Structure 1
Amino acid sequence: MCRWVAYAGPALHPSTLLLDTPHSLVAQSLHSPLGQETVNGDGFGMGWYLPGKAPGKAPALFRSVEPAWYDENLRELAHAVESPLFFAHVRAASGPPIQQTNCHPFRHQNWMFMHNGVLRQFGVMKRDILLEVEPALFTSIRGTTDSEALFCLALTMGLATDPIGAMARAISEVERIGAALSVPHPVQGTFAVTDGMTIWAFRYSSEHRSRTLFYSEDLGALRQTYPDIDRLRKYGDGARVIVSEPLSDLPGAYVEVPESTVAVLEEGRYRQEPFLRDAP
């Protein structure tokens, strides 16, 4: 479907994760061993918050329909920018057309959202889903993807004040609509949401066989385990990532997020909570 990276920590050049790691996001766009599709060449996007900005400021956004491995502007930007929190996403289109407005991440005020997966038979469910979106948000929808529709549905259901609850309500509503329209297992994926300070990453699917999701292990522990690996010194203390698949093959560097779980990254620390474990 897609691959994505979410980073939070000391300000970092995105190129460190997107280009320079052994299994970087750009490398995954060409070859993704854990992805549903091996190649993710249907566009790229990156959203980032500027260092020192007050909470509540909107992130900057760059999106392109070119494959990530081919986009020269991406390389220039990823080396020039420094950010304490950024999202990046490579797309494998599952139906909606390849156009800039369909590239992730999606933005609303200070919020960003990205998704790896699919709302199955979205064309069948689309009208009913969009009718649930608040009118003021409906007019801001610029693309045609299931992901943007789900983002706006979650915003309608209170994302700004209750991210975990809003995502649960939005996904449950899609499942209700899917059941009413005889769509089997309508929701599949991993979802990342941020307000610029905290990252919420959800691993959930209606059939409870979701796409992969991992978070990085504590950097201090990794440096003690691997004192001779120079690339670990590139990251400041407290640097953490959540990813669709690991950015390196270093044993112990990444921990898989369990099925039907939300991983919360806040102030350099993780916590996990069950998410829709009792859903049908």
Structure 2
Amino acid sequence: MCRWAAWQGRPLYLSEILTAPDHSLIHQSREASKCKTAINADGFGLAWYGDRPNPGQYRDVYPAWSDPNLKSLAEQVQARLFLAHVRASTGTATSRNNCHPFVQGTWSFMHNGQVGGFDGFRRHAEALILDDLYPNRRGATDSEALFLVAHGLGLDADPKAALENAVAQFEALSRKSGQGPHIRMTAALSDGETLFAVRYASDHLAPSLYYQWNAAWQGWAVVSEPYDTAFGDWIEVPKGSFCRFTATECEIVPFQPSVMSKAA
């Protein structure tokens, strides 16, 4: 499992979430408390949005706590919307191309969880990626494949429907392979304007996900686990939920991968 954090609101130095709090994301990379794996040392990554539509991206294979470049970058970069991730591999290699967040055009995506039996049906899953998107399949993770499939299913037009459809197809492949847990996921994604997040599982063990309106910083923090309990109350996202965060508003609706897609 992995840990991640996202921000949507007034421009904020990345360090305010990545390094400054007592239980910052970098602290969670070596001492996470709300997942099976306390150590998340298989790489890290950032995607952030500034004045240009496409996000900046920085990823590497080192443990987040040991990379001085990450700490320096976090102290200097200020962004109104960013995604940050520390990785604990569920089987794929520790390589830069397997580190989250993944980027495609204006979109960025990161994931915590697993797709049961993915190695056994990887070829079938990758066949769901549209031909014009397949050159962007640079790594080997189930997460990147899921993102590219969802992108081809219409992220631009309807992010919720596209992700529901992609998850349903992956869950169907996993069920066919007979290896569970079929889907466990929390994910964050953005087009540079809106931050989206999802919490879902095919069983009762959905990974943790929380959000908070930070009045002092004037924005939304969305996290795998709280980085600081001293300021405001963290709200747990219900299982089976899809969230939309604008600069000032939050909407949470059911996330329901379609039965039709599961049966396909």
* TM bracket, shorter-chain basis: over 0.9
Matched with 1:17 is 17
The superposition leaves residues 16-48 of structure 1 with CA deviations (integer Å, 9 ceiling, x where unpaired) of 100001210000001001022001011010010
- Which of 105, 110, 125 aligns to 2:106? It is 110
Q: What is the CA–CA distance in structure 1 between the aligned matches of 2:143 and 2:221, rounded to whole Å? A: 21
The CA RMSD measured in Å over matched residues stands at 1.5
Q: What is the CA–CA distance in structure 1 between the aligned matches of 2:230 and 2:257, rounded to whole Å? A: 31
Q: What is the CA–CA distance in structure 2 between the aligned matches of 1:13 and 1:251, rounded to whole Å? A: 17
- Which of 54, 57, 60 aligns to 1:64? It is 60
TM-score by length of 2: 0.94
Indicate yes or no: 2:144 matched with 1:153.
no
Written as runs of structure 1 = structure 2, the 5 A alignment for 1:211-226 is 211-216=207-212, 218-220=213-215
Matched with 2:244 is 264
Secondary structure class of the residue paired with 1:132: coil
Letter in 2 for 1:264: R
Indicate yes or no: 2:133 matched with 1:137.
yes
Written as runs of structure 1 = structure 2, the 5 A alignment for 1:163-242 is 163-216=159-212, 218-220=213-215, 233=216, 235=217, 237=218, 239-242=219-222
Bigger CA radius of gyration: 1
Letter in 1 for 2:253: E
Structure 1 residues 199 and 95: CA distance shift in structure 2, 3 A: same
Q: What is the CA–CA distance in structure 2 between the aligned matches of 1:35 and 1:14, rounded to whole Å? A: 23
Matched with 1:226 is none
Q: Percent identity?
A: 36
Letter in 1 for 2:252: Q
Runs of 4+ in structure 1 over 4 Å off: 277-280
Letter in 1 for 2:12: L
Q: How many corresponding residue pairs?
A: 260
TM-score by length of 1: 0.89
Query: Could you list the runs of 5+ residues in structure 1 that have no partner in the other structure?
Result: 221-232
Q: What is the CA–CA distance in structure 2 between the aligned matches of 1:240 and 1:212, rounded to whole Å? A: 17
Letter in 2 for 1:273: V
1:252 to partner: Cα distance: 4.8
Query: Could you list the runs of 5+ residues in structure 2 that have no partner in the other structure?
Result: none
